[in-house]
A = this chain, B = another copy of it.
């Protein structure tokens, strides 16, 4: 069983040849390709299959725009919670989910539980705490209020992921980012806008750090 964070490559800004070369030279632990659109994946699928070795299994997730090339099972290391405010935040959250799972985390997810239906939020968080998640990742765009509310309800650390969902003053995700950074509920740390990948790595480092001691 493999342990540890997988190698990853960011597809945007690289041309197909560069991407194939990186995949080909990836280590025995496999590799994760993020921000790979479905259209591009279709185009490259044949090329990718040619550079794969027999021990590699391949899995593409269109919503999360992620391609996972896996060589061995991953050892489970602990649990994280994963929440989105809206439906539109799901692609970013799915990036978190897949990367966290490839890093060995069991992910308890609950999507589209924004502050509107606050009672549904309460019960979902209860389930996560009962399952002993060690960190909760909260993905939200618009006014980015959800991490503040969650952090006011739990003792585990909360990792906020602002998304670029929104328009007008919310375009680009800065409102959500700033709101999370400026939260009056302490115990929140934040990653870059739409950085579902980074949140997953950070969350799994929290869990790994615990396992070590």
Contacts and interface: CB of A to CB of B under 8 A. Distances in A.
Interface stretch (A40-48, A51-59, A64-72, A200-208): A200-208
Contacts of A22: 87
A191 B190 contact: yes
B184 A116 contact: yes
Contacts of A181: 168-170, 177, 190-193, 195
A135 B192 contact: no
Interface string A154-165: 011101001011
A115 B157 contact: no
A182 B178 CA distance: 13
Most chain B CB within 10 A, of A164, A190, A199, is at: A190
Interface string A137-178: 000001111001100100111010010111111111111011
B175 A187 contact: no
Given A157-B205, A167-B192, 8 more contacts: A14-B87, A78-B213, A135-B206, A167-B195, A168-B177, A168-B195, A181-B193, A210-B213
